[in-house]
Amino acid sequence: MLQNKHILLGVSGGIAAFKAAALASKLTQAGATVKVIMTEHAKEFVTPLTFQALTRERVYDDTFAEKDPEKVAHIDIADWADLVIIAPATANLLGKAANGIADDMLSTTLLAATCPVYMAPAMNVNMYNQPAVQQNMETLKGRGCRFIEPGDGYLACGWVGKGRLAEPEEIVAFLEAEEKVHTSLAGKKILVTAGPTYEYVDPVRVFTNPSTGKMGFAIAAEAAALEAEVTLIAGPVQLDDPPGVKRINVTTAEEMYNEVMNLYPSTDIVVKTAAVADYKPKNILSQKAKKQDGDMDIPMERTIDILAELGRQKAAHQLLIGFAAESNNIANYAVDKLERKNLDMVVGNNITAEDAGFRSETNRVIIVQKGQEPEDLPLMTKTETAKEILRRVEILIKRDA
């Protein structure tokens, strides 16, 4: 459950900071992207270079080291994080957090964090049992912080008792279990459309497009892994059913429209990746049209705009995500589609790029959301792209909660 998670690891000043290095390594190995904030006291035990080498990310240790003039670092990294884990959480750090003190990079970032926060205390047994420390922990628990209990045993100070930082493997297991339970998509009813449609001219000829359905299938698979109830409406594609996903096969734009609208009232989130035909033959021949000299004219008519109809009927609790497959001016077309069709998010991609679009195993997309500047994502596999899209969907869910 930590795959592709953005984890902010806060390291405060205690001898157990050496375990935080192992924890950073374990989280990275679990597939998470890990960024580390260190207090000045933590650097007395472990160097920032250690964490940089283990995570391959910048280490933050100074509130005023603003390296990007377009961002405020402690706000930016707090917004970036899917979860915060403080390990070790010293008595000093717990006191600051409980009382809203912000006098360094870590405590300041904690005040700005809106994601789940986990505390892994580590200190002398007498300090741990001190009423002030216990009260601070109770205060933080009351505000939603989740605690990973320290272990009993021999402590660095020579005392024996409760206060040992939980082992890195235990912390990772705890986070995996917690994040699985607390995923914002758990139990949500998600409808995904994927693939092309076939619009028949006669029994053997169709109008269609090169969509393979891979992007939609990847989104359906990742949403199911996040414990959503996923229904996948698929056009004619040659792909296996994603695990845990209910699949409905359709052929034409009209069939897809009927299935989508039937399920829409009971759906929480729609992700419409399908490349549905905009036009269809006005008249479908019952017999194969024979080849003849000269040109052939086929009168066409508009199909129903499924996404626009969904936008018109969208309820307050529903999220609607569309795709914009374009060959130029991708961001502009995506913004226009977002506003015109009453969407919450549009994912634009360049269908002419060699490493993205139809029939490619990778994608390079632009994400447009209401009130935000278009966001360019780097080249990723379609599975990685699906994870990034759903991560932003989770942020929308939390925003509207």
Is 157 assigned a catalytic role? yes
Contact 8, 85 (CB under 8 A): yes
CA nearest 341: which of 383, 311, 319?
311
- Residue 125 near residue 159 (C-beta atoms within 8 A): yes
User: What number of helices (H) and strands (E) belong to the chain?
Assistant: 13, 22
Peptide bond into 88 cis (omega under 30): yes
Residue 56, exposed/middle/buried by CB under 10 A (0-12, 13-18, 19+)?
Answer: exposed
Partner residues linked to 87 by β-bridges = none
CA-nearest of 334, 322, 327 to 376 is 334
Among 53, 157, 177, 204, the one annotated catalytic: 157
Residue-by-residue DSSP string for 267-292: -SEEEE--B--SEEESS--SSPPPP-
Tokens of 337: 């589609």
Tokens of 136: 């601070």
Long-range contacts of 132-139 (CB under 8 A, 24+ apart): 132/95, 133/91, 133/94, 133/95, 135/98, 136/91, 136/94, 136/95, 136/97, 136/98, 136/99, 137/94, 137/98, 139/98
Q: What angle do CA 223, 188, 118 make, to 5 degrees?
A: 75
Cα–Cα distance measured from residue 258 to residue 254, given in angstroms and rounded to the nearest whole number:
6
Catalytic residues: 157
